[in-house]
């Protein structure tokens, strides 16, 4: 492992220099990776591994849209595409990548398919850490491992194709074979990680659930709405409110942050913007810190996971989810966003 200084704290990370792809292929040479679920992470991880020369099969419900998507992507029914149970029986590393609620529902069918020495792989610690809610308790004679890419499946695939990779955390929950860490790192490299950093199943799920509900999605959407609504209430046009709230962030400023950090973004803005940002960032930090603390405690207590499992297990959940997403899509702010995006040169 390489030791990297993260803001004055040394952390160990694994890059292609420490664990090159050729070594990953050697470790996985006698393995068959069964990717269960062809939804969000499944396609990206399966395709990246296949492109890297790893033996990959896919498990998905026959006749579903995602079954057809796997066929379109080159997986062949009866050869590299099977039902969930058939794929789990054939695989030696079983990537359990269906939804969290789906993992709970399918577990009674998947557990009997696991063989001694197999590796049960997750990209999220949810089912294991909240096993009192999910019932996902692995047998003692398998490895239980995790690689969690820090991005959506779409980003995992696109970053792989452009050669940049995407950062991922990794963890070992149960090491039956004595090779669990080596298998984990090999799969982590094979799915296209830019670099891998160690974590635990517990830390991964606590940070992930907090991040999704916080800055990455929930907070971001809520802050967008708040600023847009205030600007509109004071007479600003939808175009002006959307550009100042979303478009400038996503098309300009966040790219500067990604390039060299927040200070770099500040340094490349006007002095008026710099001063205002520096004066107000503390106000926003202090205002939202109690909300984040409450959120973190709700994640740790299991309150948030209970909500997820109950909601996602409801028979009409897909319909209710579509209504919620349509409400967002059809709000003035995001209809303005659609109009703004349509006016981008590449879309005209």
Residue-wise over 130-162: b if at least 16 C-beta within 10 A, else e?
beebbebebeeebbbbbbbbbbebeebbebbee
| Rg from Cα positions in the chain | 22
pLDDT digits (tens, 9 = 90+) for 15-74: 999 999 999 999 999 999 999 999 989 999 999 999 999 999 999 999 899 999 999 999
Whether residue 124 lies in the annotated active site: yes
- Pick the catalytic residue from 36, 47, 59, 124: 124
Confidence of residue 14 (pLDDT cuts 50, 70, 90): very high
pLDDT of residue 333: 96
- The answer to whether 123 and 97 are in contact (CB under 8 A) is yes
Answer whether residue 220 shows pLDDT above 90.
yes
- Answer with the residue of higher pLDDT: 165 or 245: 245
Report the pLDDT averaged over residues 94-101.
Answer: 94
Torsion of CA 218, 220, 226, 229, to 10 degrees: -110
Q: For 121, what's the count of Cα atoms within 13 Å in the CB-facing half-sphere?
A: 33
For the chain, what is the mean pLDDT? Answer: 95
Measure the CA–CA gap between 158 and 160, rounded to whole angstroms. Answer: 5
Report the half-sphere exposure of 238 (CA within 13 A, side-chain side).
10
Looking at residue 5, its pLDDT comes to 80
Enumerate domains of the chain plus CATH numbers.
2-199 (3.40.50.720), 214-347 (no CATH)
pLDDT above 90 for 194: no
pLDDT digits (tens, 9 = 90+) for 315-333: 999 999 999 999 999 999 9
Q: pLDDT tens digits, residue range 132-157?
A: 999 999 999 999 999 999 988 999 99
Convert the pLDDT of each residue in 99-111 to its tens digit: 999 999 999 999 9
Q: Do residues 60 and 66 make contact, with C-beta atoms less than 8 angstroms apart? A: yes
Confidence label for 344 from pLDDT (cuts 50, 70 and 90)? confident
Whether residue 348 has pLDDT greater than 80: no
In this predicted structure, the answer to whether residue 206 has a pLDDT above a threshold of 90 is: yes
Q: Are 126 and 65 in contact (CB under 8 A)?
A: no
């Amino acid at each position: 492992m390489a030791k990297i200084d993260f803001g004055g704290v040394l952390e160990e990370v694994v890059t292609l220099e420490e664990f090159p792809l050729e070594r990953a292929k050697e470790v996985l040479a006698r393995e068959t990776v069964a990717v269960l679920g062809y939804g969000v992470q499944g396609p990206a991880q399966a395709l990246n591994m296949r492109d890297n020369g790893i033996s990959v099969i896919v498990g998905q419900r026959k006749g579903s849209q995602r079954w057809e998507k796997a066929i379109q992507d080159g997986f062949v029914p009866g050869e590299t595409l099977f039902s969930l149970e058939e794929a789990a029986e054939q695989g030696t590393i079983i990537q359990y990548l269906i939804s969290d609620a789906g993992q709970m529902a399918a577990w009674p069918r998947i557990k009997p398919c696991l063989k001694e020495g197999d590796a049960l792989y997750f990209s999220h610690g949810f089912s294991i850490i909240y096993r009192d809610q999910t019932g996902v308790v692995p047998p003692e004679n398998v490895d239980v491992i995790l690689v969690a890419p820090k991005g959506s499946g779409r980003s995992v695939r696109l970053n792989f194709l452009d050669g940049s990779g995407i950062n991922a955390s990794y963890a070992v929950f149960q090491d039956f074979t004595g090779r669990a860490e080596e298998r984990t790192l090999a799969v982590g490299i094979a799915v296209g990680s830019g670099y891998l950093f160690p974590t635990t199943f517990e830390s991964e799920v606590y940070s992930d659930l907090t991040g999704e509900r916080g800055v990455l999605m929930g907070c971001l959407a809520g802050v967008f709405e708040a600023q847009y609504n205030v600007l509109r209430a004071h007479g600003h046009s939808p175009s002006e409110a959307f550009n100042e709230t979303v478009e400038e962030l996503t098309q300009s400023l966040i790219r500067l942050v990604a390039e060299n950090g927040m200070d770099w973004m500040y340094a490349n803005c006007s002095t008026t913007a710099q001063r205002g940002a520096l004066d107000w960032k503390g106000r926003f930090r202090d205002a939202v810190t109690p909300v984040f603390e409450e959120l973190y405690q709700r994640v740790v207590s299991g309150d948030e996971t209970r909500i997820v499992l109950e909601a996602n297990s409801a028979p009409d959940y897909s319909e209710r989810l579509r209504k919620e997403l349509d409400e967002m899509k059809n709000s003035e702010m995001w209809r303005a966003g659609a109009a703004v995006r349509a006016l981008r040169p590449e879309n005209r």
